[in-house]
Amino acid sequence: MRFLDTFFDGAVMARYLPDLLAGIVTTLWLSVVIVVGGLAVGLALACLRTLGRWYLTAPIVVFADLGRALPPLVVILIFYFGLPGLGISLSGPMVLILVLGGVLAAFAEEIFWAGLTSVPRGQWEAGRATGLSFARTLFEIALPQAVRMGIPPLVNRALAITKMTALGSVIGVKEILAVSSSAQSFSGSATPLTMAALAYLAIFLPAVILSRLLEKRFAWAV
């Protein structure tokens, strides 16, 4: 009974459920924006890199390397607490979108680029030989293959990045972890943290199962 009272207190659950539901909504819409934006930017950068122009390739490579090397939490703190010193104030959600979306874009660019470079050169040449422009060869021949090969690692990376929305708790974003931590402090019970764990399971466990299915579905292309 003591275990249930500590981690599954019904009165505490009922009291803080509305706040947790609001935190779930915040986590969900942030995750969608981060994933869509990050993948779109990563794909665009990989396509630009195929042009072979050094003045495009160099900054893209630097962005990808920095995005993959820097800890997201450090960048989040710099953006949220450092930029106001330069007269640039960003809201907590906007900081999360920019930082986590940028991190995902960095990884996605490298994944898409790896897929594009794995397409046999002969297919590029065949496309050009049939009269297709470089852009049509890219979008109709090379890119579909690169995207197919990149689906499993992209899904896993997107899943890992979206779970980092919990970092928003350090800058006041009212997502699941922030709401549950606040509720735990006020209630003195571990029940809100249990609720948070269940909420994360409800959101991300289906995504994990989907990623496993996608890995099996596209394993031949890896």
List, for residues 14-71, the tens digit of each pLDDT value.
899 999 999 999 999 999 999 999 999 999 999 999 998 999 999 999 999 999 999 9
Whole-number Å distance between alpha carbons of 72 and 161 = 10
Burial class (CB in 10 A: 0-12, 13-18, 19+), 135: exposed
Tokens 């994933």, located at residue: 35
In Å, what is the CA distance from 175 to each residue of 11, 71, 181?
Answer: 22, 20, 10
Mean pLDDT of the chain: 89
Percentage, residues of the chain above pLDDT 90: 52
pLDDT of residue 221: 46
